[in-house]
């Protein structure tokens, strides 16, 4: 079964005489894996309406159509889970993930995940797609999450992530305040040998770069701050580890939180102000995988972080 909306490309004079497979790779940027899958389908790759072999040359004016195979997540149980849709079309689903929900079923989290809810939502509207999150958010992190509705869309946006053209911005409420109002943390991160759940700064880790800017400071001397962060890389727990490295861990972070601060003087906030780590994926920007248009999506701060900010402003 094929998707209702194929990829279409009209051969120009510049591509006249190219092999079809060259056009598919260089212009439509099909991966070898997807191209191999399409070649096995009777209607996967059409040239002027007929099935075509990828080694044939094309002429200016030829119409290439690629019918992406429909996939579904047969291993994910459909389950009604509430979430807010920011944007959806035939290729993408952008949601505002609530805090406290796991993105994808894992060992110990087979149900009650965002994936269960999205698969249920698609089934209810009669749409068949495989759940393909383009990036991940921690269970306790809220905000913008992008989901691809095809292997092709996932591949195209993943290429943007690798090239550094995807923009991801976060808002965090942290203990204390960074040493500078704005700056960059360029510190490699790796798995803690003593605790596999945790990540630490280590010279032989994976390079991790976080840009930050303080938006607001609470208390005098500072007890907390609102920080806007932009990720240049996307390592596991990157923001949490880098903020702790700066001496201002996330409020409510049970793994990298205030207990890691070097002295009691810096721990000015009481426990229990918020029931999770105060981190929100505020915005996400990338080029649409089909049209190439630049798209930007945002999600307002959730109520628990708004309440925390209101409390910090009055203390």
Give pLDDT tens digits for 4-46. 578 889 999 999 999 999 999 888 888 888 888 888 888 889 9
First to last CA, the chain: 60
Token look-up 């994936």 returns: 115
pLDDT value for 170: 98
pLDDT value for 2: 41
Tell me the CA distances in angstroms from 311 to 248, 269, 280, one per residue in order. Answer: 19, 11, 18
pTM metric for this prediction:
0.86
Q: Which residue from 96, 154, 69 is spatially nearest to 302, judged by alpha carbons?
A: 96
Cα 305 → chain centroid: 21
Cα 50 from Cα 65, distance rounded (Å): 9
Provide the annotated active-site residues: 138
Cα 26 from Cα 58, distance rounded (Å): 14
Q: Which residue from 268, 165, 246 is spatially nearest to 201, judged by alpha carbons?
A: 246
Six-digit token string for 235? 């390592």
Cα 216 from Cα 181, distance rounded (Å): 10
Six-digit token string for 34? 């997807």
Q: Which residue from 105, 19, 124, 112 is spatially nearest to 62, judged by alpha carbons?
A: 19
CA geometry: angle 74, 79, 80, nearest 5 deg? 145
Q: Which residue from 238, 253, 230 is spatially nearest to 175, judged by alpha carbons?
A: 253
Six-digit token string for 171? 């808002």
pLDDT in tens, 273-300: 888 999 999 999 999 998 889 999 999 9
Tell me the CA distances in angstroms from 157 to 182, 210, 262, one per residue in order. Answer: 29, 20, 40
pLDDT value for 271: 61
pLDDT value for 290: 86
pLDDT value for 260: 57
**Contact by Cβ (8 Å): 67, 99:** no
Q: pLDDT > 70: what percent of the chain?
A: 95
The mean pLDDT value for 209-216 works out to 97
Q: How many CB atoms lie within 10 A of CB 239?
A: 28
**Contact by Cβ (8 Å): 143, 96:** yes
Q: Which of 91-105, 145-159, 252-266 bottoms out in mean pLDDT, i.e. has the lowest? A: 252-266
The mean pLDDT value for 175-195 works out to 94
pLDDT at 1 over 60: no
Six-digit token string for 306? 């708004």
**Contact by Cβ (8 Å): 256, 174:** no
């Amino acid at each position: 079964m094929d998707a209702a909306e194929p990829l279409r490309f009209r051969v120009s004079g510049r591509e006249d005489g190219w092999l079809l497979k060259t056009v598919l790779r260089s212009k439509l940027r099909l991966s070898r894996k997807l191209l191999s899958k399409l070649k096995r389908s009777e209607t996967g790759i059409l040239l002027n309406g007929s099935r075509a072999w990828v080694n044939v040359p094309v002429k200016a004016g030829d119409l290439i159509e690629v019918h992406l195979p429909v996939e579904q997540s047969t291993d994910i149980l459909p389950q009604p889970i509430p979430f807010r849709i920011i944007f959806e079309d035939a290729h993408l689903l952008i949601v505002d993930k609530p805090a406290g929900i796991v993105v994808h079923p894992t060992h110990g989290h087979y149900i009650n995940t965002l994936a269960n809810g999205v698969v249920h939502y698609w089934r209810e509207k009669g749409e068949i797609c495989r759940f393909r999150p383009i990036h991940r958010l921690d269970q306790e992190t809220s905000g913008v999450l992008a989901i691809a509705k095809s292997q092709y869309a996932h591949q195209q946006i993943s290429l943007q992530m690798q090239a550094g053209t995807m923009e991801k911005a976060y808002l965090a409420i942290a203990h204390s305040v960074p040493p500078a109002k704005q700056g960059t943390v360029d510190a490699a991160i790796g798995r803690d040998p003593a605790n596999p759940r945790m990540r630490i700064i280590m010279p032989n880790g994976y390079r991790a770069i976080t840009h930050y800017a303080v938006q607001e400071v609470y208390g005098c001397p500072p007890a907390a701050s609102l920080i806007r962060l932009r990720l240049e890389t996307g390592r596991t727990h990157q923001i949490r580890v880098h903020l702790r490295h700066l001496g201002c861990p996330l409020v409510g972070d049970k793994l990298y939180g205030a207990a890691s601060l070097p002295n009691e003087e810096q721990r000015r906030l009481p426990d229990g102000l918020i029931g999770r780590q105060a981190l929100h994926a505020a915005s996400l920007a990338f080029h649409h995988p089909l049209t190439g248009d630049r798209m930007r999506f945002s999600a307002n701060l959730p109520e628990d972080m708004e309440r925390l900010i209101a409390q910090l402003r009055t203390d």
